[in-house]
């Protein structure tokens, strides 16, 4: 905003806007809120924005308020026609009009979208950048078969970031791999509903269910299958035993063979178990990607 020919009050307003909105927006996401004391809807929206800004402060969200009666000049600059009016500002520019969002859930959803798209810097983002390579290290160690060391790594990361679902999921899977499924179940059961919906937690729960597959002698089932290749119950038991022993290739082969012969057998039990194996492996796992292609080839060709 140019200041040539402006009054002292107008220049002061611009300086305040520069200090309270533009400068913070260089690294933070600023919620710019236009309101007035006499505005009924503002009395409802104001406390909601205060709460959301507090909840998202660690993520780099800042709330800036402008009273349209006290700051008529700034309201005119933004052509505010009605209140409440709410904008999101980043790096000195408005990036979204938030005026239509009037519930806490709506405001948080749009903030989550913006934070996912913009390079906002806050304590939460700094922590995420710090723990990301440590999580990758834990995953590499776990994939390499050293469950005890992986558990130690994830436990240390949890001390840094105790609510991170990726860390908690990795810790649970390390416990499972180390033969401590009961402790992993207790950890997963202690999580709240929102955390429980995270893909990393779903992956850990899938691994827990697979670990519970019975590891038994299936020589009798193998004899049955040799005599009758369509004995899906015997083949499914063999797949379960293969999972329990850690032979996921054989388990996948047997489950896909059931799907090939009768995809609807036992209400699609073989396909459901196969998908559970893929979820436990993780979406980025090369083995899992190859197995997904095998399943797609069976189902769609």
Q: Catalytic residues, which ones?
A: 39, 42
Q: Could you identify the residue written with the tokens 């955390």?
A: 195
DSSP 197: T
Strands 29-35, 85-90: pairing kind: antiparallel
Helix (H) or strand (E) holding 95: strand 93-97
SS3 state at 88: strand
Q: Is 202 exposed, middle or buried (0-12, 13-18, 19+ CB in 10 A)?
A: middle
Output the DSSP codes for 123-141: HHHHHHHHHHHHHHHHHHH
Percentage helix, strand, coil for the chain under 3-state DSSP, each rounded to 5 = 65, 10, 25
What's the rounded Cα separation, in Å, for the pair 239 and 213? 9
CB 236 within 8 A of CB 254: yes
The pair of structure tokens assigned to 163 is: 């609510």
Which pair of structure tokens corresponds to residue 290? 């190859």
Residue with tokens 């597959």: 213
Strand partners, 86: 33
Q: Which residue has the tokens 């559970």?
A: 276
Secondary structure of residue 62 in the 3-state scheme: strand
111/216 Cα distance (integer angstroms): 51
């Amino acid at each position: 905003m140019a200041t040539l020919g402006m009054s002292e009050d107008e220049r002061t307003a611009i300086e305040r806007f520069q200090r309270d909105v533009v400068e913070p927006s260089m690294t933070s996401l600023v919620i710019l809120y236009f309101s007035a004391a006499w505005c009924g809807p503002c009395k409802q929206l104001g406390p909601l924005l205060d709460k959301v800004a507090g909840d998202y402060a660690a993520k780099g969200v800042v709330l800036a308020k402008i009273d349209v009666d006290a700051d008529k000049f700034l309201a005119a600059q933004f052509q505010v026609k009605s209140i409440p009016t709410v904008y999101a500002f980043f790096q000195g520019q408005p990036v979204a009009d938030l005026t239509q969002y009037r519930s806490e859930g709506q405001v948080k959803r749009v903030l989550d979208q913006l934070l996912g798209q913009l390079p906002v810097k806050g304590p939460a983002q700094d922590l995420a950048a710090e723990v990301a390579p440590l999580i990758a290290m834990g995953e590499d160690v776990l994939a390499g078969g050293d469950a005890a060391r992986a558990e130690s790594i994830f436990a240390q990361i949890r001390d840094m970031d105790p609510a991170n679902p990726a860390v908690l999921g990795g810790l649970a899977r390390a416990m499972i791999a180390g033969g401590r499924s009961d402790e992993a179940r207790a950890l997963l059961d202690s999580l709240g509903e929102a955390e429980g919906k995270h893909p990393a937690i779903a992956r850990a729960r899938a691994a827990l269910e697979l670990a519970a597959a019975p590891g038994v002698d299936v020589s009798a089932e193998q004899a049955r299958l040799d005599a009758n290749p369509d004995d899906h119950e015997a083949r499914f038991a063999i797949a379960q035993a293969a999972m329990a022993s850690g032979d996921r290739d054989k388990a996948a082969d047997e489950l896909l063979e059931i799907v090939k012969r009768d995809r609807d057998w036992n209400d699609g039990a073989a396909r459901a178990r196969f998908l559970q194996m893929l979820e436990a492996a993780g979406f980025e796992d090369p083995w899992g990607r190859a197995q997904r292609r095998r399943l797609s080839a069976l189902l769609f060709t």
